[in-house]
Amino acid sequence: MNHTNQSASPLLNKNDCILIVIDMQKRLIPIISQADKAIENVIRLVKLAKILQLPIVVTEQQNLGETVDEIKSEIKEIQPISKITFSSFGLEEFSSHIGQFNRKTLILTGIESHICVTQTALDAPAEYSIQVVSDAVASRAPHNWKIALDRMQRGGATITSTEMLMYELLRKAGTDEFRAALPLVK
């Protein structure tokens, strides 16, 4: 597991990123600590991904219901990938789907931090750089969220925040993309 940015600059390149939304499902959300904050930040990142034309991939753990309505309404055109494995990479359909984009930076969001998000981050093939958006991932218990972030970072993932990631992808003010994204970062 390499998980280091392959570009000349350590800053993210929007043309190399895929937004991954992991298991933001109706049956789980009511028991998740900081769920409202995670939902809000996932929505902000989905909207930014659309502005920047980043691919968006959504997973759903079987038997836990659909993606929450607040997020689902933003991604109507995206068919979620159903899985029974905790790691998204445990499903060949996921691996082949993200492979078609020919992008090597995965931006991970979703729940639960210490289960499906961590296993996806740690299980990612070495050619992928992993960005975990700390305020767009969540767990039932805050200590599991913290342990998960620490473990993923030790495993080579970069831990970031919604705002840090958004500004890094935008790179500068004064562009049409920045103007379109401005309501998301205010």
Tell me the three state secondary structure of residue 132.
strand
| CA–CA dist 161, 170 (Å, integer) | 14
Active site positions, annotated: 23, 83, 116
Report how far apart the first and last C-alpha atoms of the chain are (Å, whole number): 36
Name the burial class of residue 130, with classes exposed (0-12), middle (13-18) and buried (19+) by CB atoms within 10 angstroms of its CB: buried
Best CA proximity match to 108, nearest among 38, 37, 8, 32? 38
DSSP class of residue 76 equals: T
Residues 6+ apart with CB under 8 A from 29: 35, 39, 68, 111
Name the burial class of residue 2, with classes exposed (0-12), middle (13-18) and buried (19+) by CB atoms within 10 angstroms of its CB: middle
